[in-house]
Structure 1
Amino acid sequence: MPVYRIGEREIEYTLRRSPKARKASLSVTPQSFDLLVPEGATEEQIYSVLERRRGWIIETVQHMQERARAQTRVYQFVTGAKIPYRGRMTKLTIEPFEGSLVEVSFRNGFQIRKPHDLSLDASDSIIESALRLWLKRRVREDARDFVRRQGERHGLKPRGVQIKDQKHMWGSCGQDRQINLNWHLIFAPKPVLEYAVVHEMCHLKHRNHGTEFWDLVGRVLPDWKDRKAWLDKNEHLLGWEKVETSV
Protein backbone atom coordinates (compact mmCIF):
# COMPACT_ATOMS: atom_id res chain seq x y z
CA MET A 1 0.00 0.00 0.00
CA PRO A 2 1.51 3.39 -0.95
CA VAL A 3 2.33 5.91 1.77
CA TYR A 4 1.83 9.68 1.72
CA ARG A 5 4.35 11.48 3.96
CA ILE A 6 3.53 14.72 5.72
CA GLY A 7 6.59 15.73 7.74
CA GLU A 8 7.37 12.76 9.98
CA ARG A 9 3.86 11.39 9.67
CA GLU A 10 3.04 8.54 7.27
CA ILE A 11 -0.52 7.93 6.09
CA GLU A 12 -1.26 4.81 4.06
CA TYR A 13 -3.57 5.17 1.10
CA THR A 14 -5.08 3.10 -1.66
CA LEU A 15 -4.58 4.19 -5.26
CA ARG A 16 -7.30 3.15 -7.69
CA ARG A 17 -7.37 3.87 -11.43
CA SER A 18 -10.59 3.90 -13.39
CA PRO A 19 -11.30 4.47 -17.09
CA LYS A 20 -14.59 6.10 -16.05
CA ALA A 21 -13.00 8.67 -13.72
CA ARG A 22 -12.73 12.12 -15.27
CA LYS A 23 -10.88 13.68 -12.35
CA ALA A 24 -9.23 12.65 -9.09
CA SER A 25 -11.35 12.14 -5.96
CA LEU A 26 -10.49 11.36 -2.34
CA SER A 27 -12.30 9.41 0.37
CA VAL A 28 -10.92 9.11 3.89
CA THR A 29 -11.11 6.42 6.60
CA PRO A 30 -9.63 6.61 10.14
CA GLN A 31 -6.50 4.68 9.11
CA SER A 32 -6.04 5.64 5.46
CA PHE A 33 -7.62 7.22 2.42
CA ASP A 34 -8.54 6.18 -1.10
CA LEU A 35 -7.42 8.15 -4.14
CA LEU A 36 -9.34 7.48 -7.34
CA VAL A 37 -7.72 8.82 -10.50
CA PRO A 38 -8.29 8.53 -14.27
CA GLU A 39 -6.64 5.48 -15.77
CA GLY A 40 -3.92 7.45 -17.51
CA ALA A 41 -2.91 9.68 -14.59
CA THR A 42 0.86 10.09 -14.25
CA GLU A 43 2.87 9.89 -11.02
CA GLU A 44 3.44 13.64 -11.25
CA GLN A 45 -0.30 14.30 -11.54
CA ILE A 46 -1.04 11.99 -8.59
CA TYR A 47 1.57 13.74 -6.44
CA SER A 48 0.12 17.11 -7.45
CA VAL A 49 -3.35 16.06 -6.28
CA LEU A 50 -2.01 14.89 -2.91
CA GLU A 51 -0.06 18.11 -2.36
CA ARG A 52 -3.03 20.25 -3.39
CA ARG A 53 -5.29 18.46 -0.88
CA ARG A 54 -2.61 18.18 1.80
CA GLY A 55 -4.37 20.34 4.41
CA TRP A 56 -7.72 18.64 3.80
CA ILE A 57 -6.16 15.18 4.18
CA ILE A 58 -4.55 16.06 7.53
CA GLU A 59 -7.67 17.72 8.92
CA THR A 60 -10.04 14.98 7.78
CA VAL A 61 -7.88 12.05 8.97
CA GLN A 62 -7.52 13.68 12.40
CA HIS A 63 -11.26 14.29 12.57
CA MET A 64 -12.05 10.68 11.65
CA GLN A 65 -9.59 9.38 14.25
CA GLU A 66 -11.24 11.49 16.95
CA ARG A 67 -14.65 10.12 15.97
CA ALA A 68 -13.31 6.56 16.02
CA ARG A 69 -12.04 7.10 19.58
CA ALA A 70 -15.57 8.18 20.57
CA GLN A 71 -17.06 4.86 19.45
CA THR A 72 -18.86 2.77 22.06
CA ARG A 73 -16.46 0.47 23.89
CA VAL A 74 -17.64 -2.80 25.38
CA TYR A 75 -15.38 -4.62 27.82
CA GLN A 76 -17.72 -7.51 28.63
CA PHE A 77 -21.18 -8.57 27.51
CA VAL A 78 -22.64 -8.76 31.00
CA THR A 79 -25.71 -7.39 32.77
CA GLY A 80 -25.50 -3.60 32.84
CA ALA A 81 -23.36 -3.23 29.73
CA LYS A 82 -24.84 -1.01 27.02
CA ILE A 83 -24.74 -1.06 23.24
CA PRO A 84 -26.30 1.31 20.69
CA TYR A 85 -29.61 0.25 19.15
CA ARG A 86 -31.89 2.38 16.96
CA GLY A 87 -30.12 5.57 17.99
CA ARG A 88 -30.09 4.97 21.76
CA MET A 89 -27.76 3.29 24.24
CA THR A 90 -29.53 0.14 25.37
CA LYS A 91 -28.88 -2.02 28.42
CA LEU A 92 -28.13 -5.74 28.40
CA THR A 93 -29.60 -8.15 30.94
CA ILE A 94 -27.94 -11.58 31.03
CA GLU A 95 -29.67 -14.51 32.72
CA PRO A 96 -28.62 -18.19 32.91
CA PHE A 97 -31.16 -20.85 31.94
CA GLU A 98 -31.37 -24.55 31.17
CA GLY A 99 -31.20 -24.25 27.38
CA SER A 100 -28.25 -25.18 25.18
CA LEU A 101 -28.02 -22.03 23.00
CA VAL A 102 -27.87 -18.30 23.72
CA GLU A 103 -31.26 -16.64 23.19
CA VAL A 104 -31.72 -12.94 22.45
CA SER A 105 -34.94 -10.92 22.76
CA PHE A 106 -35.81 -7.26 23.19
CA ARG A 107 -38.18 -5.77 25.78
CA ASN A 108 -37.14 -2.24 26.74
CA GLY A 109 -33.60 -3.54 26.53
CA PHE A 110 -31.83 -6.70 25.45
CA GLN A 111 -32.83 -9.81 27.37
CA ILE A 112 -30.19 -12.48 26.84
CA ARG A 113 -30.44 -16.00 28.20
CA LYS A 114 -27.31 -18.12 28.21
CA PRO A 115 -26.78 -21.79 29.13
CA HIS A 116 -26.04 -21.98 32.84
CA ASP A 117 -23.05 -24.25 32.27
CA LEU A 118 -21.40 -21.87 29.78
CA SER A 119 -17.94 -20.94 31.07
CA LEU A 120 -17.11 -17.31 31.78
CA ASP A 121 -14.31 -17.33 29.22
CA ALA A 122 -16.55 -18.64 26.45
CA SER A 123 -19.78 -16.75 27.25
CA ASP A 124 -18.53 -13.29 26.28
CA SER A 125 -17.67 -14.13 22.67
CA ILE A 126 -20.71 -16.39 22.24
CA ILE A 127 -23.08 -13.70 23.52
CA GLU A 128 -21.47 -11.15 21.20
CA SER A 129 -21.91 -13.50 18.22
CA ALA A 130 -25.56 -14.15 19.13
CA LEU A 131 -26.20 -10.40 19.42
CA ARG A 132 -24.65 -9.72 16.02
CA LEU A 133 -26.77 -12.42 14.41
CA TRP A 134 -29.95 -11.09 16.05
CA LEU A 135 -29.18 -7.52 14.95
CA LYS A 136 -28.42 -8.56 11.37
CA ARG A 137 -31.72 -10.41 11.16
CA ARG A 138 -33.58 -7.39 12.52
CA VAL A 139 -32.02 -4.93 10.07
CA ARG A 140 -32.84 -7.33 7.22
CA GLU A 141 -36.49 -7.53 8.30
CA ASP A 142 -36.73 -3.74 8.62
CA ALA A 143 -35.07 -3.13 5.25
CA ARG A 144 -37.35 -5.57 3.45
CA ASP A 145 -40.36 -3.91 5.06
CA PHE A 146 -39.23 -0.49 3.79
CA VAL A 147 -38.68 -1.96 0.32
CA ARG A 148 -42.22 -3.33 0.28
CA ARG A 149 -43.83 -0.12 1.48
CA GLN A 150 -41.80 2.45 -0.42
CA GLY A 151 -40.87 0.36 -3.43
CA GLU A 152 -44.40 -0.61 -4.38
CA ARG A 153 -45.62 2.96 -3.90
CA HIS A 154 -42.96 4.52 -6.11
CA GLY A 155 -42.26 1.78 -8.64
CA LEU A 156 -38.84 0.91 -7.22
CA LYS A 157 -38.41 -2.84 -7.06
CA PRO A 158 -34.96 -4.26 -6.34
CA ARG A 159 -34.15 -7.90 -7.04
CA GLY A 160 -33.39 -8.45 -3.38
CA VAL A 161 -31.76 -7.08 -0.22
CA GLN A 162 -28.52 -8.36 1.27
CA ILE A 163 -27.06 -7.35 4.63
CA LYS A 164 -23.28 -7.07 4.64
CA ASP A 165 -20.40 -6.05 6.89
CA GLN A 166 -19.17 -3.16 4.76
CA LYS A 167 -16.28 -1.06 6.05
CA HIS A 168 -16.57 2.22 4.19
CA MET A 169 -20.12 2.51 2.88
CA TRP A 170 -23.69 2.29 4.16
CA GLY A 171 -25.13 0.68 1.07
CA SER A 172 -24.83 0.02 -2.63
CA CYS A 173 -27.03 -0.89 -5.56
CA GLY A 174 -25.55 -3.30 -8.08
CA GLN A 175 -26.15 -3.48 -11.80
CA ASP A 176 -28.08 -6.67 -11.03
CA ARG A 177 -30.60 -4.50 -9.06
CA GLN A 178 -29.49 -6.09 -5.81
CA ILE A 179 -29.39 -3.73 -2.82
CA ASN A 180 -26.64 -4.20 -0.25
CA LEU A 181 -26.83 -2.60 3.19
CA ASN A 182 -24.34 -2.27 6.03
CA TRP A 183 -25.70 -4.11 9.07
CA HIS A 184 -24.44 -1.32 11.34
CA LEU A 185 -27.45 0.72 10.22
CA ILE A 186 -29.41 -1.16 12.91
CA PHE A 187 -27.67 1.11 15.42
CA ALA A 188 -29.24 4.22 13.83
CA PRO A 189 -32.81 5.43 14.40
CA LYS A 190 -35.30 3.64 12.19
CA PRO A 191 -35.98 6.69 9.97
CA VAL A 192 -32.25 6.85 9.19
CA LEU A 193 -32.27 3.19 8.13
CA GLU A 194 -35.28 3.96 5.94
CA TYR A 195 -33.33 6.79 4.30
CA ALA A 196 -30.44 4.42 3.50
CA VAL A 197 -32.84 1.91 1.94
CA VAL A 198 -34.64 4.57 -0.11
CA HIS A 199 -31.30 6.05 -1.20
CA GLU A 200 -30.23 2.72 -2.71
CA MET A 201 -33.67 2.04 -4.24
CA CYS A 202 -33.52 5.40 -6.03
CA HIS A 203 -30.30 4.23 -7.69
CA LEU A 204 -32.46 1.70 -9.55
CA LYS A 205 -33.60 4.63 -11.71
CA HIS A 206 -30.62 6.98 -11.44
CA ARG A 207 -27.15 5.47 -11.13
CA ASN A 208 -25.45 8.74 -10.13
CA HIS A 209 -26.03 11.44 -7.50
CA GLY A 210 -27.31 14.04 -9.92
CA THR A 211 -30.25 16.40 -9.53
CA GLU A 212 -32.78 13.86 -10.79
CA PHE A 213 -31.60 11.34 -8.22
CA TRP A 214 -32.03 13.70 -5.26
CA ASP A 215 -35.37 14.91 -6.61
CA LEU A 216 -36.57 11.31 -6.56
CA VAL A 217 -35.26 10.78 -3.02
CA GLY A 218 -37.14 13.93 -2.01
CA ARG A 219 -40.41 12.70 -3.50
CA VAL A 220 -40.12 9.49 -1.51
CA LEU A 221 -38.79 11.08 1.71
CA PRO A 222 -39.39 14.86 1.88
CA ASP A 223 -37.23 15.11 5.04
CA TRP A 224 -34.31 13.10 3.66
CA LYS A 225 -31.82 15.89 4.41
CA ASP A 226 -32.49 15.64 8.16
CA ARG A 227 -32.07 11.88 8.09
CA LYS A 228 -28.86 12.09 6.07
CA ALA A 229 -27.52 14.80 8.41
CA TRP A 230 -28.04 12.52 11.42
CA LEU A 231 -26.11 9.73 9.69
CA ASP A 232 -23.25 12.02 8.67
CA LYS A 233 -22.98 13.45 12.19
CA ASN A 234 -23.33 10.23 14.18
CA GLU A 235 -21.80 7.52 11.99
CA HIS A 236 -19.02 6.95 14.56
CA LEU A 237 -21.67 5.83 17.08
CA LEU A 238 -23.03 3.04 14.90
CA GLY A 239 -21.43 -0.04 16.38
CA TRP A 240 -19.16 -1.02 19.21
CA GLU A 241 -15.51 -1.73 19.75
CA LYS A 242 -14.76 -4.82 21.81
CA VAL A 243 -11.96 -3.90 24.19
CA GLU A 244 -9.97 -6.69 25.78
CA THR A 245 -9.19 -6.09 29.43
CA SER A 246 -5.51 -6.20 30.32
CA VAL A 247 -4.39 -8.86 32.75
Structure 2
Amino acid sequence: MAVYRIGSQEIEYTLRRSPRASKASLSVTPKSFELLVPEGATDEQICAVLDRRRAWIIETVQHMAERAKAQTRVYQFVTGAKIPYRGRIAKLTIEPFDGSLVEVSFRNGFHIRMPSGLPPESSDAVIESSLRLWLKHRVRDDARDFVRRHGERNGLKPRGVQIKDQKHMWGSCGQNRQINLNWHLIFAPKPVLEYAVVHEMCHLKHRNHEPEFWELVGRVLPDWENRKTWLDKNEHMLGWEKVEPSV
Protein backbone atom coordinates (compact mmCIF):
# COMPACT_ATOMS: atom_id res chain seq x y z
CA MET A 1 0.00 0.00 0.00
CA ALA A 2 1.16 3.51 -0.80
CA VAL A 3 0.61 6.40 1.62
CA TYR A 4 -0.60 9.94 0.87
CA ARG A 5 -0.03 12.50 3.64
CA ILE A 6 -2.38 15.41 4.22
CA GLY A 7 -0.99 17.35 7.16
CA SER A 8 -0.60 14.85 9.99
CA GLN A 9 -3.07 12.40 8.42
CA GLU A 10 -1.74 9.37 6.54
CA ILE A 11 -4.11 7.89 3.97
CA GLU A 12 -3.35 4.49 2.46
CA TYR A 13 -4.17 3.87 -1.18
CA THR A 14 -3.39 1.39 -3.93
CA LEU A 15 -0.94 2.54 -6.61
CA ARG A 16 -1.19 0.59 -9.84
CA ARG A 17 1.03 1.12 -12.87
CA SER A 18 -0.12 0.02 -16.31
CA PRO A 19 1.57 0.19 -19.72
CA ARG A 20 -1.92 0.62 -21.19
CA ALA A 21 -2.78 3.71 -19.15
CA SER A 22 -2.39 6.98 -21.07
CA LYS A 23 -3.19 9.20 -18.08
CA ALA A 24 -3.71 8.96 -14.32
CA SER A 25 -7.14 8.09 -12.92
CA LEU A 26 -8.57 7.67 -9.44
CA SER A 27 -11.25 5.16 -8.48
CA VAL A 28 -12.86 3.93 -5.27
CA THR A 29 -12.20 0.37 -4.11
CA PRO A 30 -14.10 -1.50 -1.35
CA LYS A 31 -11.99 -0.09 1.51
CA SER A 32 -9.72 2.50 -0.04
CA PHE A 33 -9.07 4.24 -3.33
CA GLU A 34 -6.84 3.32 -6.24
CA LEU A 35 -4.59 5.48 -8.39
CA LEU A 36 -3.87 4.10 -11.83
CA VAL A 37 -0.92 5.72 -13.61
CA PRO A 38 1.10 5.12 -16.77
CA GLU A 39 3.98 2.73 -16.22
CA GLY A 40 6.63 5.47 -16.43
CA ALA A 41 4.96 7.98 -14.09
CA THR A 42 7.43 9.64 -11.71
CA ASP A 43 6.93 10.22 -7.98
CA GLU A 44 6.55 13.94 -8.67
CA GLN A 45 3.81 13.33 -11.22
CA ILE A 46 1.98 10.98 -8.84
CA CYS A 47 2.13 13.54 -6.02
CA ALA A 48 0.83 16.23 -8.38
CA VAL A 49 -2.21 14.11 -9.27
CA LEU A 50 -2.96 13.43 -5.61
CA ASP A 51 -2.58 17.09 -4.66
CA ARG A 52 -4.97 18.16 -7.44
CA ARG A 53 -7.59 15.72 -6.14
CA ARG A 54 -6.97 16.37 -2.44
CA ALA A 55 -10.54 17.49 -1.69
CA TRP A 56 -11.98 14.41 -3.43
CA ILE A 57 -9.63 12.13 -1.51
CA ILE A 58 -10.56 13.64 1.88
CA GLU A 59 -14.29 13.39 1.13
CA THR A 60 -13.95 9.80 -0.14
CA VAL A 61 -11.96 8.60 2.87
CA GLN A 62 -14.47 10.18 5.29
CA HIS A 63 -17.34 8.59 3.40
CA MET A 64 -15.71 5.14 3.56
CA ALA A 65 -15.08 5.55 7.31
CA GLU A 66 -18.78 6.30 7.86
CA ARG A 67 -19.76 3.22 5.86
CA ALA A 68 -17.30 1.05 7.82
CA LYS A 69 -19.06 2.05 11.06
CA ALA A 70 -22.33 0.74 9.59
CA GLN A 71 -20.88 -2.66 8.73
CA THR A 72 -22.49 -5.72 10.32
CA ARG A 73 -20.72 -6.62 13.55
CA VAL A 74 -20.62 -10.18 14.84
CA TYR A 75 -19.58 -10.69 18.47
CA GLN A 76 -20.10 -14.44 18.53
CA PHE A 77 -21.20 -17.04 16.02
CA VAL A 78 -24.08 -18.35 18.11
CA THR A 79 -27.80 -18.90 17.58
CA GLY A 80 -29.44 -15.56 16.90
CA ALA A 81 -26.39 -13.89 15.38
CA LYS A 82 -27.12 -11.91 12.21
CA ILE A 83 -25.10 -12.51 9.05
CA PRO A 84 -25.36 -10.62 5.73
CA TYR A 85 -26.18 -12.78 2.71
CA ARG A 86 -27.28 -11.91 -0.85
CA GLY A 87 -28.32 -8.37 -0.01
CA ARG A 88 -30.18 -9.05 3.23
CA ILE A 89 -29.55 -10.08 6.81
CA ALA A 90 -30.03 -13.73 7.80
CA LYS A 91 -30.18 -15.28 11.25
CA LEU A 92 -27.80 -17.98 12.38
CA THR A 93 -28.92 -21.18 14.12
CA ILE A 94 -26.39 -23.51 15.75
CA GLU A 95 -27.29 -27.15 16.45
CA PRO A 96 -24.93 -29.61 18.18
CA PHE A 97 -24.82 -33.14 16.71
CA ASP A 98 -22.76 -36.31 16.88
CA GLY A 99 -20.82 -35.78 13.64
CA SER A 100 -17.14 -34.90 13.35
CA LEU A 101 -17.33 -32.02 10.84
CA VAL A 102 -19.20 -28.73 10.84
CA GLU A 103 -22.13 -28.75 8.39
CA VAL A 104 -23.51 -25.53 6.89
CA SER A 105 -26.81 -25.08 5.05
CA PHE A 106 -29.23 -22.26 4.27
CA ARG A 107 -33.02 -22.49 4.72
CA ASN A 108 -34.51 -19.08 5.48
CA GLY A 109 -31.38 -18.50 7.51
CA PHE A 110 -28.05 -20.17 8.16
CA HIS A 111 -28.20 -23.55 9.88
CA ILE A 112 -24.94 -24.91 11.24
CA ARG A 113 -24.58 -28.35 12.76
CA MET A 114 -21.59 -28.36 15.10
CA PRO A 115 -19.85 -31.44 16.54
CA SER A 116 -20.98 -31.68 20.15
CA GLY A 117 -17.44 -32.56 21.22
CA LEU A 118 -15.97 -29.30 19.93
CA PRO A 119 -14.34 -27.38 22.82
CA PRO A 120 -16.27 -24.16 23.59
CA GLU A 121 -13.12 -22.05 23.38
CA SER A 122 -12.53 -23.04 19.75
CA SER A 123 -16.12 -23.30 18.48
CA ASP A 124 -16.41 -19.64 17.45
CA ALA A 125 -13.36 -19.72 15.19
CA VAL A 126 -14.31 -23.09 13.69
CA ILE A 127 -17.85 -21.97 12.89
CA GLU A 128 -16.64 -18.72 11.30
CA SER A 129 -14.10 -20.59 9.18
CA SER A 130 -16.66 -23.15 8.03
CA LEU A 131 -19.21 -20.45 7.19
CA ARG A 132 -16.63 -18.46 5.26
CA LEU A 133 -15.66 -21.53 3.22
CA TRP A 134 -19.31 -22.34 2.46
CA LEU A 135 -19.91 -18.77 1.25
CA LYS A 136 -16.84 -18.89 -1.00
CA HIS A 137 -18.17 -22.05 -2.63
CA ARG A 138 -21.54 -20.39 -3.23
CA VAL A 139 -20.05 -17.33 -4.94
CA ARG A 140 -17.80 -19.57 -7.04
CA ASP A 141 -20.74 -21.69 -8.23
CA ASP A 142 -22.85 -18.61 -8.98
CA ALA A 143 -20.03 -16.95 -10.90
CA ARG A 144 -19.45 -20.03 -13.04
CA ASP A 145 -23.17 -20.15 -13.84
CA PHE A 146 -23.05 -16.54 -15.03
CA VAL A 147 -20.00 -17.27 -17.19
CA ARG A 148 -21.87 -20.14 -18.82
CA ARG A 149 -24.95 -17.96 -19.32
CA HIS A 150 -23.21 -14.98 -20.90
CA GLY A 151 -19.81 -16.15 -22.10
CA GLU A 152 -20.06 -18.14 -25.30
CA ARG A 153 -22.98 -16.25 -26.85
CA ASN A 154 -21.11 -12.95 -26.42
CA GLY A 155 -17.71 -14.24 -27.45
CA LEU A 156 -16.38 -13.87 -23.90
CA LYS A 157 -14.54 -16.99 -22.82
CA PRO A 158 -12.38 -16.62 -19.69
CA ARG A 159 -9.78 -19.21 -18.88
CA GLY A 160 -11.43 -19.77 -15.52
CA VAL A 161 -12.86 -18.13 -12.40
CA GLN A 162 -11.02 -17.81 -9.10
CA ILE A 163 -12.51 -16.57 -5.84
CA LYS A 164 -10.09 -14.53 -3.76
CA ASP A 165 -9.95 -12.58 -0.52
CA GLN A 166 -9.22 -9.27 -2.23
CA LYS A 167 -9.02 -6.24 0.03
CA HIS A 168 -9.17 -3.43 -2.47
CA MET A 169 -11.20 -4.49 -5.49
CA TRP A 170 -14.32 -6.44 -6.42
CA GLY A 171 -12.71 -8.26 -9.32
CA SER A 172 -9.99 -8.31 -11.94
CA CYS A 173 -9.26 -9.87 -15.29
CA GLY A 174 -5.69 -11.06 -15.75
CA GLN A 175 -3.67 -11.01 -18.94
CA ASN A 176 -3.97 -14.81 -18.83
CA ARG A 177 -7.77 -14.37 -19.25
CA GLN A 178 -8.36 -15.56 -15.70
CA ILE A 179 -11.20 -13.79 -13.88
CA ASN A 180 -10.71 -13.11 -10.17
CA LEU A 181 -13.61 -12.16 -7.91
CA ASN A 182 -13.79 -10.91 -4.34
CA TRP A 183 -15.66 -13.51 -2.28
CA HIS A 184 -17.47 -10.70 -0.44
CA LEU A 185 -19.70 -10.37 -3.51
CA ILE A 186 -21.72 -13.26 -2.04
CA PHE A 187 -23.18 -10.68 0.35
CA ALA A 188 -24.69 -8.74 -2.57
CA PRO A 189 -27.92 -9.69 -4.37
CA LYS A 190 -27.38 -12.14 -7.21
CA PRO A 191 -27.98 -9.53 -9.95
CA VAL A 192 -25.13 -7.45 -8.49
CA LEU A 193 -22.79 -10.44 -8.51
CA GLU A 194 -23.88 -11.08 -12.09
CA TYR A 195 -22.89 -7.52 -12.97
CA ALA A 196 -19.46 -7.97 -11.38
CA VAL A 197 -18.88 -11.18 -13.38
CA VAL A 198 -20.00 -9.59 -16.64
CA HIS A 199 -17.87 -6.52 -15.93
CA GLU A 200 -14.72 -8.63 -15.68
CA MET A 201 -15.70 -10.78 -18.67
CA CYS A 202 -16.02 -7.64 -20.81
CA HIS A 203 -12.42 -6.81 -19.93
CA LEU A 204 -11.46 -9.80 -22.05
CA LYS A 205 -12.22 -7.57 -25.06
CA HIS A 206 -11.61 -4.11 -23.61
CA ARG A 207 -8.90 -3.70 -20.99
CA ASN A 208 -9.92 -0.18 -20.01
CA HIS A 209 -13.13 1.64 -19.15
CA GLU A 210 -13.51 3.53 -22.38
CA PRO A 211 -17.00 3.94 -23.93
CA GLU A 212 -16.57 0.75 -25.98
CA PHE A 213 -16.23 -1.22 -22.76
CA TRP A 214 -19.46 0.13 -21.26
CA GLU A 215 -21.28 -0.39 -24.54
CA LEU A 216 -20.36 -4.06 -24.39
CA VAL A 217 -21.46 -4.32 -20.75
CA GLY A 218 -24.78 -2.74 -21.79
CA ARG A 219 -25.32 -5.24 -24.57
CA VAL A 220 -24.90 -8.10 -22.12
CA LEU A 221 -26.76 -6.47 -19.18
CA PRO A 222 -28.97 -3.55 -20.28
CA ASP A 223 -29.67 -2.55 -16.64
CA TRP A 224 -26.04 -2.68 -15.52
CA GLU A 225 -26.14 0.89 -14.16
CA ASN A 226 -28.76 -0.03 -11.54
CA ARG A 227 -26.68 -2.97 -10.40
CA LYS A 228 -23.50 -0.90 -10.23
CA THR A 229 -25.32 1.80 -8.28
CA TRP A 230 -26.43 -0.78 -5.69
CA LEU A 231 -22.84 -1.97 -5.32
CA ASP A 232 -21.51 1.57 -4.92
CA LYS A 233 -24.13 2.51 -2.32
CA ASN A 234 -24.14 -0.70 -0.27
CA GLU A 235 -20.53 -1.82 -0.21
CA HIS A 236 -20.55 -1.48 3.59
CA MET A 237 -23.01 -4.42 3.72
CA LEU A 238 -20.67 -6.78 1.94
CA GLY A 239 -19.11 -8.60 4.84
CA TRP A 240 -19.00 -8.67 8.59
CA GLU A 241 -16.65 -7.34 11.20
CA LYS A 242 -15.73 -9.84 13.90
CA VAL A 243 -15.64 -7.97 17.17
CA GLU A 244 -13.61 -9.59 19.89
CA PRO A 245 -15.10 -9.30 23.40
CA SER A 246 -13.31 -6.79 25.60
CA VAL A 247 -11.38 -8.27 28.50
Normalization by structure 2: what TM-score? 0.91
Deviation track 1:107-166 (CA, whole Å, cap 9, x = no partner) reads: 111110001111211000000000011001111111111111111332322111111111
Partner of 1:196: 196
**Is the alpha carbon distance of 1:223 and 1:6 closer, same or farther for their aligned partners in structure 2, counting shifts above 3 Å?**
same
Could you tell me whether the CA contact under 8 Å between 2:71 and 2:237 is conserved in 1? yes
**In 1, Cα distance between the equivalents of 2:217 and 2:3?**
38
Higher relative contact order (CA 8 A, sep 6+): 2
Could you tell me whether the CA contact under 8 Å between 2:173 and 2:201 is conserved in 1? yes
Partner of 2:136: 136
Deviation track 1:60-89 (CA, whole Å, cap 9, x = no partner) reads: 111111111111110000000011100000
Partner of 2:236: 236
Partner of 1:182: 182
Q: Say which is worse superposed, 58-67 or 211-220, in terms of deviation.
A: 211-220
- 1:1-247 correspondence runs (5 A): 3-13=3-13, 15-27=15-27, 33-247=33-247
Aligned residues: 247
Q: Which amino acid aligns with 2:144?
A: R
**In 2, Cα distance between the equivalents of 1:2 and 1:181?**
23
Q: Percent identity?
A: 83
**In 2, Cα distance between the equivalents of 1:122 and 1:6?**
43
Matched residue SS, 2:21: coil
- Measure how far apart 1:7 and its partner are: 3.0
- Measure how far apart 1:36 and its partner are: 3.9
Q: Which amino acid aligns with 2:234?
A: N
Which consecutive residues of structure 2, in runs of 5 or more, have no partner in the other structure?
A: none
- Measure how far apart 1:169 and its partner are: 1.1
Q: Which amino acid aligns with 1:213?
A: F
Could you tell me whether the CA contact under 8 Å between 1:11 and 1:31 is conserved in 2? no
**Is the alpha carbon distance of 1:30 and 1:212 closer, same or farther for their aligned partners in structure 2, counting shifts above 3 Å?**
closer
**In 2, Cα distance between the equivalents of 1:146 and 1:40?**
37
Normalization by structure 1: what TM-score? 0.91
**Is the alpha carbon distance of 1:38 and 1:196 closer, same or farther for their aligned partners in structure 2, counting shifts above 3 Å?**
closer
Q: Say which is worse superposed, 130-139 or 4-13, in terms of deviation.
A: 4-13
**In 1, Cα distance between the equivalents of 2:51 and 2:218?**
37
Q: Say which is worse superposed, 202-211 or 36-45, in terms of deviation.
A: 36-45
Could you tell me whether the CA contact under 8 Å between 1:24 and 1:35 is conserved in 2? yes
Q: Say which is worse superposed, 206-215 or 129-138, in terms of deviation.
A: 206-215
**In 2, Cα distance between the equivalents of 1:31 and 1:233?**
13
**Is the alpha carbon distance of 1:139 and 1:40 closer, same or farther for their aligned partners in structure 2, counting shifts above 3 Å?**
closer
Could you tell me whether the CA contact under 8 Å between 2:30 and 2:169 is conserved in 1? no
**Is the alpha carbon distance of 1:206 and 1:42 closer, same or farther for their aligned partners in structure 2, counting shifts above 3 Å?**
closer
